[in-house]
Amino acid sequence: MAGHSKFKNIMHRKGRADAARSKLFSRLSKEITVAVKVGGGTTDPDMNPRLRLAIQNAKGQSMPKDNIQRAINKGSGGDAEDYKEMRYEGYGPGGVAVIVEALTDNLNRSASNVRAAFSKNGGALGETGSVSFMFDRVGEIVYSADAGDADTVMEAAIEAGAEDVTSDDDGHTIICAFEDIGAVSKSLEEQLGEAESVNIVWKPQNRTPVDEDKASTLMKLLDALDEDDDVQNVYSNEDIDEDVMTRLSA
């Protein structure tokens, strides 16, 4: 249970890429809308697990209630875009494995943009399944440091049935089996309050060391993907020294 899950590099990158609140809210709104449509128009979070998680994430990012409700209404209305869920896989500089999740209303545009981001930044887009075997599909629940000290969160996570916890000054990251995320997040909410985010993520089984030269180009690739309007999430398995990440993030 007390293993060390390294999400530092992703946290640095996502923190920088999601600095524009409007872009973040747009992604959250799209996920809420899709959750309603996929759930057959069900707008009750208790009856629609995906919608419940989407709303929880939106609240965790301080998204206004009016924005959340508009996204729900859009999903239940007949004029909502027909978004398709797509997953792209490939390799970045230094042999780093990259998974890109997108919600798009234009498959050709999405594929073209993702392919261009890879090719322009030292990467290569592969076939579906070309790198996902190097990741585990897991549930990730994130709490701020205010939720409690490491021991308190660990005890709550064990009781909830989680598999791993990483705590540092930034907060707590709790990992569970993806099929258990509903039950685990509910138990944690009862003990610790509402989480900052609750997601199904791709967790690398191993990390690929990257030197500073390759890391600089890799960050350009990951940022280009993050900035695409169709892209919802980007996962990668790089291992970059903290000092290098600090210089790149400056």
> Could you tell me which of 123, 115, 127, 129 has the C-alpha nearest to residue 95?
123
Q: Please give the pLDDT value at position 21.
A: 73
Domain range for 68: 14-76
CATH code of 40's domain: 1.10.10.200
Q: Please give the pLDDT value at position 124.
A: 95
The total number of structural domains in the chain stands at 3
* Amino acid at residue number 231: V
φ and ψ of 37, to 5 deg: -65, -45
Q: Please give the pLDDT value at position 80.
A: 63
The last residue of one of the domains, among 44, 76, 108, is 76
Q: Does residue 141 contact residue 178 with C-beta atoms inside 8 Å?
A: no
Q: Please give the pLDDT value at position 250.
A: 67
> Which pLDDT tens digits describe the chain residue by residue (250 residues)?
333 334 444 444 555 544 567 788 888 999 999 999 888 888 888 888 889 889 988 888 889 999 999 999 988 876 667 888 999 999 999 999 999 999 999 999 999 999 999 999 999 999 999 999 999 999 999 999 999 999 999 999 999 999 999 999 889 999 999 999 989 999 999 999 989 888 899 999 999 999 988 999 999 999 999 989 999 999 999 998 888 787 777 6
Q: Please give the pLDDT value at position 20.
A: 64
113 and 163 fall within a common domain = no
Residue 4 forms part of a structural domain: no
CATH code of 238's domain: 3.30.70.980
HSE, CB side, 13 Å, CA atoms: give it for residue 132: 15
